[in-house]
């Protein structure tokens, strides 16, 4: 049995589905079900006795303790987080509460549980904390990619809150001996992604005939990681990672945002052409850049390859095709996750402006 937190969100849900598709070990799935948590994503597991879903908050230490003591998991995998940079700029307190306070209370509950295990179960137990490359800050064009030894230089309330959570996890290993593992991943994309992030937003807006909002000049560079590859990397770290270590997980796919948008447009031109026959890239609209927008992220994933033998299975070209095909095949999922509140936020946030 493992306990997964945030398992109804994008990466967490993909992880739970992949985990149960590969093995029979049950999962207790704790999720607060905020706007980005979606039980419809887990519909394929509705009648699966190996999947135990619990609605709850990692900041509720009593609830977490009760689950730990009832189910006695051999590992905790923590995906629970507020993760959208733009929302952290307009509403930072939510990020402080979930990413810092929530992680602290989760760690406290796990520390107490771990202290009560016998020697054999202590030796086998792991706490895996899923984090982001954004904690490292921004890179210049000529700088080498982030390694696990890079200093933390977070530049947004989101990345600062994740950096704080990473430091707490590290401290609980060094102070209390908790056997922790931390992973810092690059930009994820793939099926079941809530349509506020770049790739799903472009797909959904393009199909709806809406503008495709691109920040600034669109030349912000990110490393892109297919979510299925991320899930396989986490499984590998949980299986063989060394307690106390950090593992960077990347896709070896550095690309500017505008190239990503053009790739999505080209695939849609091929797979579901516009009724008027015009290219989707005609819908691209440049909007005012967000405050403090980091220019470049890049992950050096050499350590996880060298120590654990993990490499991504997807290229960007294969992964983005699978992603677009999934959204085209699942319009009902998209429609149901887009509540009225979400649509209002998107409309107000991405007001089309002149290019910076």
Q: Is 109 exposed, middle or buried (0-12, 13-18, 19+ CB in 10 A)?
A: buried
The residue from 136, 158, 172, 286 that is catalytic is: 158
Q: Evaluate whether 149 touches 184 at the Cβ level (below 8 Å).
A: no
Check residue 40 and give its pLDDT.
85
Q: Residue 129 falls within a domain, yes or no?
A: yes
Q: Note the pTM of the prediction, 2 decimals.
A: 0.92
Determine which helix (DSSP H) or strand (DSSP E) holds 127, and give its type and residue range: strand 126-132
pLDDT at 349: 58
* Residue-averaged pLDDT of the chain: 93
Give me the number of domains the chain comprises.
1
pLDDT at 321: 98
pLDDT tens figures, 159-171: 999 999 999 999 9
Q: Count other Cβ atoms within 10 Å, centred on residue 210.
A: 16
Residue 321 in any domain: the answer is: no
Q: Does 344 fall in a domain? A: no
Query: What residues of the chain score a pLDDT lower than 50?
Result: 352-356
- 232 lies in a domain? yes
Q: Give pLDDT, residue 86.
A: 78
User: Is 298 domain-assigned?
Assistant: yes
Q: Could you give the 3-state DSSP secondary structure of residue 28?
A: strand
Name the active-site residue from 31, 57, 134, 196.
134
Look up the CATH number of the domain holding residue 77. Answer: 3.40.50.720
Name the residue range of residue 37's domain. Answer: 2-189+226-253+293-314
Active-site position among 31, 86, 133, 166? 133
- The per-residue pLDDT for range 314-348, each reduced to its tens digit, is 999 999 999 999 999 999 888 887 765 555 555 66
CA angle, 63 then 71 then 184, to 5°: 75
134 is catalytic: yes
Residue 27: inside a domain: yes
Work out the number of other CB atoms within 10 angstroms of the CB of residue 26: 17
Assigned domain for 323 exists: no
The answer to whether residue 324 sits within a structural domain is no
Q: Is 251 exposed, middle or buried (0-12, 13-18, 19+ CB in 10 A)?
A: buried
Catalytic site residue 18? no
């Amino acid at each position: 049995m493992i306990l997964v937190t945030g398992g109804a969100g994008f990466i967490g849900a993909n992880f739970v589905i992949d985990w149960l598709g590969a093995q029979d070990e049950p999962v207790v799935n704790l999720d607060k079900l905020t706007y980005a948590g979606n039980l419809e994503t887990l519909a394929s597991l509705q009648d699966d006795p190996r999947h135990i879903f619990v609605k709850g908050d990692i900041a509720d230490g009593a609830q977490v303790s009760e689950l730990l003591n009832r189910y006695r998991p051999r590992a905790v995998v923590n995906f629970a987080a507020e993760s959208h940079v733009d929302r952290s700029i307009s509403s930072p307190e939510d990020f402080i509460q979930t990413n810092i306070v929530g992680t602290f209370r989760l760690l406290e509950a796990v520390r107490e549980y771990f202290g009560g295990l016998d020697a054999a179960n202590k030796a086998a137990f792991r706490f895996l904390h899923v984090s982001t490359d954004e904690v490292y800050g921004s890179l210049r064009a000529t700088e080498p990619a982030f390694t696990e030894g890079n200093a933390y230089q977070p530049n947004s309330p989101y990345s600062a809150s994740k950096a704080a959570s990473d430091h707490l996890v590290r401290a609980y290993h060094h102070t209390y001996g908790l056997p922790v593992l931390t992973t810092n991943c690059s930009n994820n994309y793939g099926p079941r992604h809530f349509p506020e992030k770049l790739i799903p937003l472009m797909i959904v807006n393009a199909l709806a005939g809406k503008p495709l909002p691109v920040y600034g000049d669109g030349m912000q560079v990110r490393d892109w990681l297919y979510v299925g590859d991320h899930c396989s990397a986490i499984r590998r770290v949980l299986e063989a990672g060394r307690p106390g270590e950090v593992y960077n997980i990347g896709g070896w796919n550095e690309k500017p945002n505008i190239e990503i948008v053009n790739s999505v447009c080209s695939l849609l031109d091929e797979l579901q052409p516009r009724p008027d026959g015009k290219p989707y890239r005609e819908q691209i609209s440049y909007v005012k850049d967000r405050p403090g927008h980091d220019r470049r992220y890049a992950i050096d994933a050499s350590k996880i390859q060298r120590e654990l033998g993990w490499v991504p299975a997807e290229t960007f070209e294969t992964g983005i095709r699978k992603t677009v095909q999934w959204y085209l095949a699942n319009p009902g999922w998209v429609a149901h996750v887009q509540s009225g509140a979400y649509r209002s936020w998107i409309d107000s946030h991405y007001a089309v402006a002149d290019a910076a």
